[in-house]
Amino acid sequence: MTTARTPLPDSKLARAAVGVLAATAVALGGTTWTAAATPTGDVDRYLNLPLVNRDAAQGPGGVNPILPTDGAALTALLHDARSSGAAPSTYRALVYQYWLVQATEAAGIDLAGWDPRAGVEANRDNLIKSYRFYEDLQLSHRELQWAGMGGMVGADFGGGLIDFELLTDGFDIPAVQQSARAIVQAATDVAGPDLVASLPEGLRALADAGTVITGDDLHYILGMIMVMQKNIFSDLMPMHRAYVTEGIPALEEMHAAGLFGDDIMDAWRDVASKDPDRIARGNAALLQREQGVIIRDQWDTVRDYKGSVGAAITYLSTVAGSPSVAGVVPPRSFHPIEIGTTLPDGRTATLTTPLPDWNWSVYDERWDYITTQLLPKYKNMVENHWPQLEAELRTPYETQLETHRPLLNIPQMLQSAATNTAVTVS
């Protein structure tokens, strides 16, 4: 018996044809899209959504509260969006959420409950799982150097955050301020205000406002730093997950959706090139996006918080930092203070002290440190000392985290700096 089939209207026929093409591409392991048809059905409500929570300062969860955080649900919705013929730009939030959930699920993180404002202890597992995921990407893909370096530095960062939260419950600010004032006084005694004005803003802020820093101030800044940590993961880990599971075509879809520009698409082609110089260049571009785009404004906000309070605390973080990449000097030893002024009698007064003349929160100064210290020395580890690097990356992350607890040493660091401050006149 033959069953008659009712012809599809032209619009339905077009949508059916697009669906067949999309299903075929998925079956072959590829990613495809077309703008040939108008989307219909439940997927409509997930199109053209704004990325209201791309900045995690807005709240917990994903990039838009309407979107699910379940991987299976997002897979079905993204398939429907692609099959409908919608342009990638219309399902930008959906494809972003899809890869963000793919990354968080692979890392073992509950995206819906990830609230950076909840504090370090509440997010301790998320810190460990984030950076373990970074390092695992490096171990399985030698070209993913941004991820490996981010994981290693994350142990220093995470250990500092743990200490930072402890500081909110009691920190010897008076001792820190006393040391800062001793350095300022040494400059004043010999050369007066002219030399003092040349000292780093953060050091002067610490001498002036150290005692007004409160636990609430530290909590606010800690929350902002935790927001930055999630923002970095949420921006770059979806790209990494797309790369290792579906390759350049998946990144091209994200690019077509408007999630990043031509520079980052070119960076990923460099990363995938198998050419060492291009790989290094591509990873450097990803790092520049992290530092110069994703968290640049937030570091500025932290430094500007309540005037001298933010300047003092960000300067302290520069003093305390100790990246664990082999051969990298700590920030406090990079461009130490050496300033001079001409005295009324024509002689020159020079002050030296083993403290940094820069602030990690200032992008240009931070980028100088990164490009002269972290990037080249991590690249050298990957290319010339892989067994040593691999052993370090395979260390349980809880151990890496606990062995990098620098902030509790700040009072001693400042006291040592004050003791070793010298003003010479010649």
Q: For 168-206, what is each residue's pLDDT tens digit?
A: 655 566 677 788 888 888 888 877 787 888 899 999 998
pLDDT reading at 249 higher than 90: yes
| Strand order through the sheet with 336-342 | 336-342, 348-356, 422-425
Q: Lowest mean pLDDT: which of 49-63, 211-225, 237-251? A: 211-225
Would you state the pLDDT for residue 32? 42
The residue among 31, 286, 249 whose CA lies nearest residue 138 is: 286
pLDDT reading at 255 higher than 90: yes
Residue 58: C-alpha distances to residues 15, 51, 262, 341 (Å): 37, 11, 27, 47
What is the arithmetic mean of pLDDT over 235-245?
A: 98
If one counts every other C-beta atom within 10 angstroms of the C-beta of residue 2, the result is 4
Token duo for residue 224 = 């902002």
What is the arithmetic mean of pLDDT over 108-127?
A: 92
Would you state the pLDDT for residue 4? 37
Q: Lowest mean pLDDT: which of 25-39, 44-58, 137-151, 154-168? A: 25-39
The one-letter amino acid code at 71 reads: G
Give 161's contacts (C-beta < 8 A, 6+ positions apart): 120, 127, 222, 225, 226, 229
Confidence class for position 257, pLDDT limits 50, 70, 90: very high
Confidence class for position 254, pLDDT limits 50, 70, 90: very high
Confidence class for position 217, pLDDT limits 50, 70, 90: confident
The residue among 198, 205, 163, 197 whose CA lies nearest residue 180 is: 205
pLDDT reading at 137 higher than 80: yes
Q: Which residue has the higher pLDDT, 178 or 30?
A: 178
Torsion of CA 8, 12, 15, 16, to 10 degrees: -30
Alpha-carbon distance of 269 to 247, in angstroms, equals: 10
Q: Which residue has the higher pLDDT, 117 or 159?
A: 117
Give the tens place of pLDDT for each residue, 266-279. Answer: 999 999 999 999 99
Would you state the pLDDT for residue 188? 86
The overall average pLDDT reported for the chain is 85
Would you state the pLDDT for residue 177? 79
pLDDT reading at 162 higher than 50: yes
Alpha-carbon distance of 235 to 283, in angstroms, equals: 14
